[in-house]
Amino acid sequence: MRLFRNKKGSEHGDSGGGSSAVESSSAGGAAVLLALITLFVIFYVLFLPPAERDKLLNTTNESGSISADDDNTFVFERPGTLTFVTDQTFEHDISAFTLYKTTRTDILEAANSLYVKSNVFEKQKKQVSFSVEDIKMTDNYVLSFNAQERSGRLVITLNGNVVFDNAIASINPEPIKLPKNLVKANNVLEFSVSGVGWQFWSSNAYSLDSINIFGDITDESKQSSTSDIYLESDEFSNIQKATLRFNPECKIKDVGQLDITVNSNEIFSGVPDCGVLNFKDVPKQFLENGDNKITFKTSKGTYTVDNVRVETGLKKATYPTYYFDLSDKEYNNLINGNRKLNASIKFVNNGDYKRAKLIVNGHIISIDAKDKLKVLRMIPKEYFDQTDNNYVRIEPDKNTIEISELKIYFYKP
């Protein structure tokens, strides 16, 4: 019975043990397969090119910039905008010009003839209207005429004010001056003749012809000259000093004050030195990025101005320098070739052409890029001869660039 039970039990145990063995065998096979796959992946990754391995291991974030959370990172900076400046001075020439005031005598109004008379039965008057375009720039108003027939006193009023009341003895009388303070934009001259008095049977009359109203008109359009100069953004942002130079040919006793403005801001007002170069500082706050207006104006005399130029002196371009040290171990790994130094640069703009110089311990590496991310493999180990006081600087070449990220880091070849 024990043997049977043992056999039965053995059979029963074998049945249960067989099922467990199958399961154990399946689990073991899966583990082996997983280990083989893992080993294959590891070898696959190890033999990938470094750039592909970096992408696979996600050493760059979604934006394409390399993470700074790395013990092998020596420089991680955000340089920003680096302005490219070729020259330290810029010259903006302005063509020569002449300032002067002209005054000409013009006929404001003309009439062929008019006739006025006065007797007991009637009093006949006539009017002549005239206009003045610019009251401020017009002066010396004069009325002239010929008097073919004349008897009694000729009375002339300007805008209701008597300006002449007298007998005229000759055909060509002296011109009559019209007071400037009575002249308006629109004016009326009225002509009449005095009454006959007790001689009721007679008439007084005037027959006038060649009637002209004159005025001296001053033209100030040549008293000022405005010129434009254009400042590029790179020049404007780096201006340290700006100077206006000019040579005024003039006679001091004949000229008046010369006023010079830059974008309506006065930089000079007075009589300059005639016949020599004059220099006037232009405060930077008076200048604008882009178009700038330089105006010369005088109220008297003639100025011939040449050799006109605006000169800007720029600040010397400086670019950030980043220092880093290497430990003895890191330095030895670099020199022995166990580690390489990488430089990665992330530009702000994608697509446009960018040129820069990466300077490592005085050695220049040229950079040409169109994409946002530029990765330079293996900064030569020959650029390093010490562990401390190493530096890296990036400078624009040919154009202004914007850099959002600069990183210098170790990688294992």
Q: Which pLDDT score is estimated for 208?
A: 96
Q: Are residues 127 and 213 in the same domain?
A: yes
Q: Pick the last residue of a domain from 175, 199, 219.
A: 219
What's the pLDDT score for residue 65?
37
Q: Mean pLDDT of successive 10-residue segments in the chain (413 residues)?
A: 32 43 54 73 61 48 39 86 78 95 91 91 91 93 95 94 95 95 97 81 89 92 94 88 96 93 97 96 96 94 96 85 91 88 84 83 86 74 87 85 88 73
Residue finishing a domain among 314, 343, 370: 314
Name the CA dihedral angle for 54, 60, 62, 68, rounded to a multiple of 10 degrees: 160
pTM of the model: 0.52
Residues 16 and 28 in one domain: yes
108 and 211 within one domain: yes
Residues 6+ apart with CB under 8 A from 136: none
Residues 107 and 214 in one domain: yes
Name residue 253's amino acid. K
* CATH at 330: 2.60.120
Same-domain status, 352 and 371:
yes
241: domain CATH number?
A: 2.60.120.260
What is the reported pLDDT for 340?
86
Are 214 and 245 part of one and the same domain?
Answer: no
Q: What is the 3-state secondary structure (H, E, C) of the chain?
A: CHHHHHHHHHHHHHHHHHHHHHHHHHHHHHHHHHHHHHHHHHHHHHCCCHHHHHHHCCCECCCCCECCCCCCEEEEECCEEECCCCCCEEEEEECCEEECCEEEEEEEEEEEEEEEEECCCCEECEEEEEECCCCCCEEEEEEEEEEEEECCCEEEEECCEEEEEECCCCCCCCCEEECHHHCCCEEEEEEEECCCCCCCCCCEEEEEEEEEEEEEEEECCCCEEEEEEEECHHHHHCEEEEEEEEEEECCCCCCCCEEEEECCEEEEEECCCCCCCEEEECCHHHCCCEEEEEEEEECCCCEEEEEEEEEEEECCCCCCEEEECCCHHHHHHHHHCCCEEEEEEEECCCCCCEEEEEEECCEEEEEEECCCEEEEEEECHHHCCCCCCEEEEEEECCCCEEEEEEEEEEECC
pLDDT at 395: 86
For residues 97 and 226, membership in a common domain is answered with yes
Domains in the chain, number: 4
pLDDT of res. 25: 52
- The pLDDT of residue 43 is 63
Q: What pLDDT sits at residue 172?
A: 93
pLDDT (0 to 100) of residue 47: 62
CB 69 within 8 A of CB 293: no
pLDDT score of 45? 57
The CA distance from 209 to 237, in Å, is 70
Domain that holds residue 157: 103-219
Residues 147 and 285 in one domain: no
Residue-level pLDDT at 44: 66
The pLDDT assigned to 14 comes to 43
Are residues 227 and 310 part of one domain? yes
Dist CA 162 CA 272 (whole Å): 47
pLDDT for position 355: 84
- Cβ distance 376 to 365 under 8 Å? yes
Q: Do 263 and 277 have their domain in common?
A: yes
59 to 74, 198, 348: CA distances (angstroms) = 16, 123, 20
pLDDT of amino acid 33: 74
- Among residues 194, 219, 244, the one where a domain terminates is 219
Kindly state whether residues 97 and 237 are assigned to the same domain: yes
d(CA 5, CA 398) in angstroms, rounded, equals 97
* Side chain identity, residue 386: Q
Are 97 and 141 within one domain? no
